[in-house]
């Protein structure tokens, strides 16, 4: 049982950044914007959080710095795609490359420096409950923030007036504009929220998952996040399920190697990404369901004068 709990705890830690970044990207895509720069925003959040924690000595300050860095980096994406009306796909790819290079430059002096780890929040008595205690009541702050984000995003999108406007912008920005909704402002706010979530996910990587700075430590998680949103059919609750599924595949391949399973390590290492491709192939078979849930204006530029 103790081994099972330990494996489950590592799965939760590995899945948390995917869930956080996935919820942020879901809101962005619900507004009709396709942001392929999640990987770049995540790695910028990771290095900013690590540097912020080192300079202040507080992991909580580092967490805030990571969130702010992700949000600010997303503003660049918003300015290029919404104000200058550049191609969203090309801009997202360019910002990912920029983020990877910039983070490597900023973090060059922090390689091999011991990190400031974000500690666990322990609930008295509740944390002593067998099995459920360490799993639910002895976690770091980012885990509880991911659950709060899940509840908040689900309520916002389907229970609030502002969420209805955002979904209207994503489904038909022309009709939303005709009804008096500020499309550009709505998309800017959605992009900033997505960037903040990506920055928080990156901060989790450098303060919790691996409390140190390693160049390119996001390791493709931003791309998995994009696949996760499609896997979830743009539904918040499914993002949680998908995030933990991908996280479990990632962790179990490490444990399989540790247990000496007679499978080449290279094959086990590619399993998380191979499973992502398999899931997307399976989802693409049901084109009707995919088209119904996909925001109709996703990836389409909006210019009020036209």
Give tens-digit pLDDT for 87-140. Answer: 999 999 999 999 999 999 999 889 888 888 898 898 888 888 888 888 888 899
Of the pLDDT bands very low, low, confident and very high (cuts 50, 70, 90), residue 185 is very high
Name the token pair of 81: 């795609």
- Please name which of 16, 117, 106 lies closest in space to residue 59, comparing C-alpha atoms: 117
pLDDT at residue 304 tops 70 = yes
Name the token pair of 86: 């550049």
User: Burial of 235 by CB count in 10 Å (0-12 exposed, 13-18 middle, 19+ buried)?
Assistant: middle
pTM over 0.95, yes/no: no
Higher-confidence residue of 120 and 291: namely: 120
**pLDDT tens per residue across span 15-32:** 999 999 999 999 999 999
Q: Which of 46-55, 253-262, 270-279, 296-305 has the lowest mean pLDDT?
A: 253-262
- Please name which of 255, 236, 298 lies closest in space to residue 92, comparing C-alpha atoms: 298
> What percent of the chain shows pLDDT beyond 70?
92
pLDDT at residue 269 tops 80 = no
Contact between 249 and 275 under an 8 Å Cβ cutoff? The reply is: yes
- Average pLDDT, stretch 187-199? 97
Mean of the per-residue pLDDT values of the chain: 89
**Domains in the chain, start-ordered, CATH in brackets?**
16-118+138-293 (1.10.3470)
pLDDT value, residue 170: 94
pLDDT value, residue 171: 93
pLDDT at residue 290 tops 70 = no
Of the pLDDT bands very low, low, confident and very high (cuts 50, 70, 90), residue 267 is confident
**pLDDT tens per residue across span 154-166:** 999 999 999 999 9
Residue by residue, DSSP assigns 201-232 as: HHHHIIIIIS-SB-TTTTTTHHHHHHHHHHHT
pLDDT value, residue 253: 74
Integer Cα distance of 262 and 285 in angstroms: 33
Integer Cα distance of 192 and 188 in angstroms: 6
**pLDDT tens per residue across span 47-91:** 999 999 999 999 999 999 999 999 999 999 999 999 999 999 999
Q: Which of 28-37, 227-236, 259-268, 272-281 has the lowest mean pLDDT?
A: 259-268
pLDDT value, residue 56: 92
- Parallel/antiparallel/unpaired status of strands 138-140 and 120-122: antiparallel
pLDDT value, residue 268: 66
Residue with tokens 């081994």: 3
For 148-178, give one letter per residue: b (16+ CB within 10 A) or e: ebbeebbebbeeeeebebbbbbbbbbeebbe
Integer Cα distance of 12 and 262 in angstroms: 26
Integer Cα distance of 47 and 210 in angstroms: 12
pLDDT value, residue 145: 96
């Amino acid at each position: 049982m103790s081994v099972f709990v330990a494996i489950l705890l590592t799965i939760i830690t590995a899945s948390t950044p995917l869930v956080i970044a996935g919820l942020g990207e879901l809101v962005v895509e619900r507004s009709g914007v396709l942001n392929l720069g999640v990987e770049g925003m995540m790695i910028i959040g990771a290095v900013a959080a690590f540097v912020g924690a080192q300079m202040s000595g507080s992991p909580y300050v580092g967490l805030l710095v990571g969130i702010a860095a992700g949000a600010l980096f997303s503003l660049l994406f918003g300015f290029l795609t919404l104000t200058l009306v550049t191609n969203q796909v090309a801009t997202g790819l360019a910002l990912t490359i920029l983020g990877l290079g910039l983070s490597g430059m900023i973090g060059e002096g922090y390689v091999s420096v011991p990190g400031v780890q974000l500690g666990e929040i322990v609930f008295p008595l509740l944390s002593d409950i067998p099995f459920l205690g360490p799993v639910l009541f002895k976690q770091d702050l980012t885990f509880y923030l991911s659950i709060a984000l899940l509840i908040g995003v689900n309520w916002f999108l389907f229970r609030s007036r502002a969420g209805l406007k955002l979904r209207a912008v994503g489904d038909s920005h022309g009709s939303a504009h005709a009804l008096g909704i500020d499309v550009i402002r709505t998309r800017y706010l959605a992009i900033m929220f997505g960037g903040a979530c990506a920055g928080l996910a990156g901060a989790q990587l450098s303060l919790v998952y691996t409390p140190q700075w390693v160049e390119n430590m996001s390791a493709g998680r931003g791309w998995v996040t994009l696949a996760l949103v499609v896997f979830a059919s743009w539904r918040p609750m499914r993002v949680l399920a998908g995030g933990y599924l991908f996280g479990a595949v990632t962790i179990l391949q490490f444990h399989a190697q540790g247990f000496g399973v007679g499978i080449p390590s290279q094959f086990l290492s590619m399993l998380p990404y191979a499973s992502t491709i398999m899931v997307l192939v399976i989802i693409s078979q049901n084109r009707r369901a995919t088209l119904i849930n996909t925001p109709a204006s996703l990836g389409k530029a909006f210019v009020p004068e036209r």
